[in-house]
Structure 1
Amino acid sequence: KAVVLAMGCRERTREAIAIPGNRPAGIFTAGTAQRFINIEGYIPGREVVVLGSGDIGMIMARRMTLEGARIKAVLEIMPFSTGLIRNKVQCLDDFNIPLKFNHTITRIEGEKRIERVIVAQVDNSLQVIPETEEEISCDTILLSVGLIPENELTGEAGIKLDPVTRGPIVNENRETEIEGIFACGNVLHVHDLADFVTEEGEIVGRAVGEYLKRNIRFRSQSIKIVPGDNIAYVVPQHIDFIVPGRKKIK
């Protein structure tokens, strides 16, 4: 038997990034706002601040604009966009939506509904720079501050996780360190494109087929892969030697 972990990922929420201030209505993850518009047929707000320049955040900034909302600003704590360049150009630049690098929200204000946010510049250590705060009036905040692989079940199963990707450690066949348990997609690490998830699913599908036919059941010594300079992480984290008589999975 074999098990394939494919639980995907979830969006970071306000609680995950600890934004101080009141708890009024009007705070949504970008994915939730996308569901409201695309499936429920509701626009979640009219005066919008987007926190984070991830792909879904930039896409939703454009979508909200097309639905009649005004995007007051897209705030990015890093000195660069964390999404694809084409999304920055097509979703922000083409619609004259302001993108502020090295900025974050320091406080949320409002009673029943958001009325304003206080934003400030940050330094190279991502610490708020004193006396740089400014007020932006808005009724909605969209959060695009990253995705987290859904690996609570993985951890409970005793599978070792990579501290950087927050996904399981795997070999070239995407098999975890527990024999017969494989992982693919955003549960393994967050992918930029859905096409990459599809390709990885095909890799795992072939590998599982060979495993069930016992072509890759027995392991030999592994080669550990270590990230080089300016490389955040690598997947897979180790490669198994191909022993004589065992079919290699491409």
Structure 2
Amino acid sequence: MKNADLVILGGGPAGLAAALAAREAGVQDILILERDAELGGILNQCIHNGFGLHTFKEELTGPEYAARFADKVKAQGIPYKLNTMVMDLSADKVVTAMNRTDGLFQVQAKAVVLAMGCRERPRGALNIPGTRPAGIFTAGTAQRLVNMEGYLPGRRVVILGSGDIGLIMARRMTLEGAKVLCVAELMPYSGGLKRNIVQCLNDFDIPLKLSHTVVDIEGKERVTGVTIAEVKNGKPVPGTEKHFDCDTLLLSCGLLPENELSRTAGVALSPITGGPQVDESLQTSIPGVFAAGNVLHVHDLVDYVSEEAAAAGTNAAAYILQGAGEAGRSLPVVAQNGVRYTVPVTVHPQATETLTLRMRVDNVYKGKALAVYAGETCLWRRKRPVMAPGEMETVVLKADALAKIPADAANLTVTLEEV
């Protein structure tokens, strides 16, 4: 069995940022394991721009953003293995992986960073009635076919779900010469960023039908048409059906953190996000195992993934070099009144000088205030003109706010309030 101080599972934006931060913090023995043929993860197929505005203060495409981190990893000589599938992670941080060169091998790590990213929700999880012909793709699969393989999946397209990948693919398919007939969204609000609705749908006159879903798929060998209908109280409304003749259906119905390895290792997972439950250092329920990026919770901007992963890498380095410090008292973080979840779910106020809380709301809210309380004491409060599920909210509590936490506080509460 080989040994390594830090093993990072995933060579996408989270894994690369964590590796660079850990090396900067003083850890030399790092190994990145990536199942794809190159570093960069999902960014390699995201050839649209809009990346890097926070991190580099300029607008980059996905491959350009990934290349900046990959080049730094290579320049610093951080080892990585490509085309390597991690098969198992044990509770005592033994990583079992395999590739064609090394065969099956094991690495005993002092610390592990989980950076496996997420995957799309497939058709089987959506319970769409109808036949099962060719021409049904997840939006990410279609994106890879168009941008990396050079294939056009179809010419007349209906998209179900208004997640960011679906919105971006509506524009991409249009630019490639296909006709996007409509984007149907089950919820009464879009799941994507506002800027993507404007730039990808409105600019190309593609209709967005909220509170609609696909109720039938037609075709034997290949999709020949789909029927959508309005939805109320979770059920299609009879008489509102509308038929589209099309040859392709793209599904953009949410992303699921890829946590099979976390589950087998015994990491406690959140029932809401599907990702690990972590504390303020992004450490999971297993000491020395950290998580960051979309494997933790689905982000809207890759800049936030890199920022979060850098923190995980730094904290993993501290764990390796200094051991587990005295954390002090533990406060659970409670989400309520419209806040769907928070990351982290537990904090140790004495262990940090700055606490970053990331969260999403469960609906569209206008003119509400986002607030953080410790018992009856308000630590932070800001008015937000608009909050939507598609856009992540971030709260940063600095030392002066953390100093206000009463000694008898049982938890931190993140909540929405009337202004």
Instruction: Name which structure has the greater RCO, CA cutoff 8 Å, separation 6+.
Output: 1
- Measured after TM superposition, the shift of residue 216 of structure 1 is 4.1
- Displacement after TM superposition at 1:219 (Å): 3.0
**Structure 2 counterpart of 1:183:** 291
Measure, in 2, the Cα distance between the counterparts of 1:215 and 1:72.
Answer: 57
User: Aligned residue for 1:38?
Assistant: 147
Q: Could you tell me which runs of 5 or more consecutive residues in structure 1 were left unpaired when the two chains were aligned.
A: none
Cα distance between partner residues in 1 of 2:127 and 2:262: 26
- 1:20 equivalent to 2:129? Answer yes
**Separation (CA, whole Å) in 1 of partners of 2:321 and 2:354:** 13
- Matched residue, 2:314: 206
SS at 1:122's partner residue?
strand
- In the alignment, which residue of structure 2 is the partner of 1:103? 212
1:82-93 equivalences under 5 Å are 82-93=191-202
**In 1, Cα distance between the equivalents of 2:263 and 2:296?**
12
Measured after TM superposition, the shift of residue 127 of structure 1 is 1.4
1:86 match: secondary structure: helix
| 2-structure distance, mates of 1:40, 1:154 | 31
Residue of structure 1 equivalent to 2:348: 240
Q: Which amino acid aligns with 2:247?
A: D
| Alignment counterpart, residue 138 of structure 2, candidates 29, 36, 39 | 29
CA distance in 2, matches of 1:93, 1:216: 51
User: What is the rounded CA distance, in whole Å, between the counterparts of 1:248 and 1:90 in structure 2?
Assistant: 39
Q: Distance in 2 between matches of 1:182 and 1:163?
A: 18
User: Within 1, Cα distance between the matches of 2:147 and 2:160?
Assistant: 21
Residue 153 of structure 2 is aligned to residue 48 of structure 1: no
The yes-or-no answer on 1:174 pairing with 2:282 is yes
CA deviation profile, 1:80-131 (whole Å, cap 9, x unmatched)? 11100000000000000011111000111101000011111001x2211122
Q: 2:188 aligns with which of 79, 100, 118?
A: 79
* In 1: Cα distance, 2:286 partner to 2:246 partner: 49
Displacement over 6 Å in runs of 4+: none
Deviation for aligned residue 1:248: 5.2
Q: TM-score, normalised by structure 1?
A: 0.95
* DSSP 3-state at the match of 1:186: helix
CA distance in 2, matches of 1:119, 1:100: 9
Quick one: distance in 2 between partners of 1:134 and 1:69? 20
Mapped partners of 2:353, 2:334: distance in 1: 22
3-state secondary structure, aligned to 2:227 = strand
Deviations 1:210-231 (A, max 9, x none): 1112264343221110013110
Within a 5 Å distance, the mapping from 1:64-143 to structure 2 comes to 64-123=173-232, 125-143=233-251
The SS at the match of 1:233 is strand
* Aligned-partner SS, 2:284: coil
Name whichever structure is richer in strand by fraction.
2
Q: Specify the code of the residue in structure 1 equivalent to 2:174.
A: T
CA deviations 1:40-98 (Å, max 9, x no partner) are 11110000000011111010000100000000110011111110000000000000001
Asked if the contact 1:51/1:105 (under 8 Å) is kept, the reply is yes
What SS does the corresponding residue of 2:154 show, helix, strand or coil?
A: coil
SS at match of 2:224: strand
Question: Contact conserved, 1:173 with 1:249, CA < 8 A, in 2?
Answer: no
Count of residues in correspondence between the two structures: 246
* Cα root mean square deviation, aligned: 1.4
Task: Please list every run of 5 or more consecutive structure 2 residues that lacks an aligned counterpart in the other structure.
Answer: 1-109, 356-419
The question of 1:196 aligning with 2:196 is answered no
Calculate the TM-score normalised by the size of structure 2: 0.57
d(CA) in 2 for partners of 1:60 and 1:133? 24
After alignment, is 209-218 or 168-177 more displaced? 209-218
Tell me which amino acid in the other structure corresponds to 1:184. A
Which residue pairs with 1:221 in the alignment?
329
